[in-house]
């Protein structure tokens, strides 16, 4: 036993020594594609920063972020722990058939506040129809794929609660039922928290009548696979080398239509609803509508005078390309980044319809809906 302990201690010393030698020789990385975030950089040393403790904290973050081959070591740890029966890593469950899931926690007071913000806002709107679509996440659709004894709250239960609390002036768009009926189809990514293009298409078809238009059929589009190597947000957290990649599909209209897409936070203008450059990056979901922006305005060649405001999270990005074939203008607002008065915006832009579109997990905890009540 003593000999084995000495061997293990020796191996550990070699490992630490090797890291100590190699780390200074390795160039720091600014942005992590796998984690989709800016990494901590070497902090500037001052005696004042050291005395306050800030330098030590920042240096710990720097070492953690810039640790040589961090992805390899954390991935190896995840695979080993999974092999010995661990059910989750970084809050992500290892499910059956390659699915990864994030538990839905019991909502707190924020959910009630958000419903109240919406109700008060819809009461102020004059001359525009208001709709709410809350989308379940994959964990609600596939309880049979969860590991044994995995805990999660029922998203369906809380969606029903919200529907009961909703102002009658807002039309509830049921996304749960059509998705549940299609659960055996590829409606969610296995490695990401979003739904797929196919899942969004199903919700679009179901919402059409309530929103006052005739939905196009699947046969009206050419379906192209634009990526076969998409690893999403759940994969970034779980960091499991054994998980297989997802694919991303694009529905290309067979009918004649064109678009102009403008963003409020830069000068870029697109003539497409898709940003193909992101398919070469880790954040491939930003292929849909160029990712997150405070405000996006889509002008289409559909000249019917209808204008839609979408207040949303990123679930909207896969669905709005279908809605763009039925509205002359679509204005997309992300309340994380855009804080202007929306009731005035609706009046100024002569908006005819307002759609709130969130996944239930985001809606239940997002503090930014308070900006509805300026």
**Is there a domain that residue 13 lies in?**
no
- Residue 78 sits in the same domain as residue 128: no
**Is there a domain that residue 6 lies in?**
no
- Tell the residue number behind the tokens 């109240």, with chain if given: 116
- Residue 194 sits in the same domain as residue 301: yes
- Return averaged pLDDT per consecutive 10 residues of the chain, 374 residues in all: 54 51 59 58 74 70 59 49 64 94 97 97 92 98 94 97 96 98 98 98 98 98 98 90 93 98 86 97 96 96 97 98 98 96 96 98 97 91
- The pTM assigned to this predicted structure is 0.80
Per-residue DSSP letter, 214: P
Q: Which of 56, 71, 98 is the last residue of a domain?
A: 98
**Is there a domain that residue 39 lies in?**
yes
Q: Which of 58, 81, 98 is the last residue of a domain?
A: 98
- Residue 64 sits in the same domain as residue 183: no
- Residue 75 sits in the same domain as residue 213: no
pLDDT of residue 234: 95
- Tell the residue number behind the tokens 């995995």, with chain if given: 150
Q: How many domains does the chain have?
A: 2
**Is there a domain that residue 11 lies in?**
no
pLDDT of residue 240: 79
Per-residue DSSP letter, 366: -
pLDDT of residue 75: 47
- Residue 134 sits in the same domain as residue 210: yes
Residue 293 makes CB contacts below 8 A (sequence gap 6+) with 263, 264, 265, 332, 334, 337
- Residue 208 sits in the same domain as residue 69: no
Q: Which of 98, 124, 140 is the last residue of a domain?
A: 98
**Is there a domain that residue 2 lies in?**
no
**Is there a domain that residue 17 lies in?**
no
Can you point out the beta strands (E) in the chain?
Answer: 31-32, 37-38, 88-89, 92-94, 100-102, 129-135, 170-172, 221-230, 246-253, 259-263, 269-270, 295-300, 307-312, 329-333, 353-359
**Is there a domain that residue 15 lies in?**
no
Residue 8 makes CB contacts below 8 A (sequence gap 6+) with none
- Residue 56 sits in the same domain as residue 119: no
- Residue 132 sits in the same domain as residue 262: yes
- Residue 159 sits in the same domain as residue 33: no
Q: DSSP string of 165-190? A: HS-TTEEE---HHHHHHTTTSS-B-S
**Is there a domain that residue 9 lies in?**
no
Residue 66 makes CB contacts below 8 A (sequence gap 6+) with 23, 26, 28, 29, 39, 40, 42
pLDDT of residue 132: 98
Contacts of 162-169 spanning 24+ positions with Cβ under 8 A: 162/111, 162/115, 162/132, 162/134, 162/363, 165/112, 165/115, 165/119, 166/115, 166/118, 166/119, 166/132, 167/118, 167/119, 167/122, 167/123, 169/122, 169/123, 169/130
- Residue 296 sits in the same domain as residue 213: yes
Tokens of 267: 């000068």
> Domain range for residue 57?
23-98
- Residue 280 sits in the same domain as residue 331: yes
- Tell the residue number behind the tokens 């991935």, with chain if given: 75
pLDDT of residue 84: 45
Helices H, strands E: what count in the chain? 13, 15
- Residue 124 sits in the same domain as residue 89: no
pLDDT of residue 24: 61
């Amino acid at each position: 036993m003593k000999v084995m302990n000495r061997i293990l201690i020796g191996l550990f010393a070699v490992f630490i020594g090797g890291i100590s030698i190699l780390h200074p020789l390795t160039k720091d990385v600014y942005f992590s594609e796998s984690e989709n975030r800016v990494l901590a950089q070497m902090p500037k040393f001052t005696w004042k920063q050291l005395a306050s403790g800030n330098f030590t904290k920042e240096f710990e973050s720097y070492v953690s972020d810039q640790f040589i081959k961090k992805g390899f070591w954390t991935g190896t740890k995840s695979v080993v722990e999974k092999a010995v029966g661990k059910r989750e890593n970084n809050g992500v469950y290892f499910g059956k058939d390659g699915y990864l899931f994030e538990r839905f926690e019991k909502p707190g007071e924020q959910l009630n506040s958000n419903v109240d913000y919406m109700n008060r806002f819809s009461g102020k709107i004059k001359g525009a129809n208001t709709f709410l679509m809350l989308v379940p996440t994959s964990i609600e659709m596939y309880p049979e794929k969860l590991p044994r004894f995995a805990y999660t709250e029922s998203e369906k239960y809380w969606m029903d609660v919200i529907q009961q609390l909703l102002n009658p002036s807002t039309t509830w768009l049921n996304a749960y039922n059509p998705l549940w009926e299609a659960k055996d189809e590829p409606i969610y990514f296995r490695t990401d928290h979003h739904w797929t293009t196919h899942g969004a298409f199903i919700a679009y078809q179901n919402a059409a009548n309530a929103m006052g238009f005739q939905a196009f059929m699947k046969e009206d589009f050419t379906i192209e696979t634009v990526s076969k190597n998409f690893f999403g947000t759940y994969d970034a957290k779980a960091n499991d080398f054994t998980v297989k990649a997802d694919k991303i599909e694009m529905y290309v209209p067979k009918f004649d239509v064109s678009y102009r897409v403008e963003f409020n936070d830069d000068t870029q203008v697109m003539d497409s609803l898709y940003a193909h450059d992101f398919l070469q990056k880790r954040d491939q979901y930003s292929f849909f509508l160029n990712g997150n922006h405070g405000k996006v305005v889509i002008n289409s060649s559909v000249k019917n005078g209808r204008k839609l405001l979408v207040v949303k999270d990123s679930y909207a990005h896969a669905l709005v390309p279908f809605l763009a074939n039925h509205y002359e203008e679509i204005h997309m607002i992300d309340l994380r980044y855009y804080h202007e008065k929306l009731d005035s915006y609706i009046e100024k832009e002569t908006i005819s319809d307002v759609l709130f579109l969130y996944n239930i997990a985001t809606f239940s905890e997002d503090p930014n809906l308070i900006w509805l009540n300026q």
